[in-house]
Amino acid sequence: MKKIIFLFLLGFLLSISFSACHRKGGKSDAVGIKFERASYKQVLDKAQKMGKPVFIDLYASWCGPCKMMERTVFVDKTVGNFHNANFINFRIDGEKGEGRDLVKQFNIMGYPTLIYVDGSGKVLHTEIGAIGSQELMRIGKNVLKGTH
């Protein structure tokens, strides 16, 4: 009986320890897209310096399809590895702050709107509506090849 209690407590403590590590930024296999926390201008400047296009997710906080992409597509390890290596990634709420200006600039008609631009802000591809991981990968590869 003491062994069972000991094993139960050990398992419990290990799960708490792992959970705390995970919350504090411990290593995890599920990486996903890393979005820049900067202004649009800063993102474009970085893209120009690094010679990479920009991937923009224009979303709204109330948008169900936006939330679905956040939970399933943007956390996908393959999608994250690809986009992190090949693009500067930028995510912004289209109904707040600078996001409202970008909605006007890009003439956004619905959420989510996914936009690929070059370092000068020239639109390379626009996709309106939620898409899956494979479709986002296909579009990203075509943008890099120039066949979007």
- Cβ atoms within 10 Å, residue 133: 18
The DSSP string of 127-142 is EES---HHHHHHHHHH
Mind listing the pLDDT tens digit for each residue in 47-56? 999 999 999 9
Residue 25 φ/ψ, nearest 5 degrees? 95, 20
> Is this structure's pTM higher than 0.85?
no
20: tokens are: 């705390």
The DSSP string of 44-74 is HHHHHHHT--EEEEEE-TT-HHHHHHHHHTT
CA distances to 55, 109, 137 from 79, in Å:
12, 25, 6
Mind listing the pLDDT tens digit for each residue in 79-130? 999 999 999 999 999 999 999 999 999 999 999 999 999 999 999 999 999 9
38: tokens are: 């900067």
Q: Which fold has domain 32-145?
A: Glutaredoxin (3.40.30)
Q: How many residues are present in the chain?
A: 148
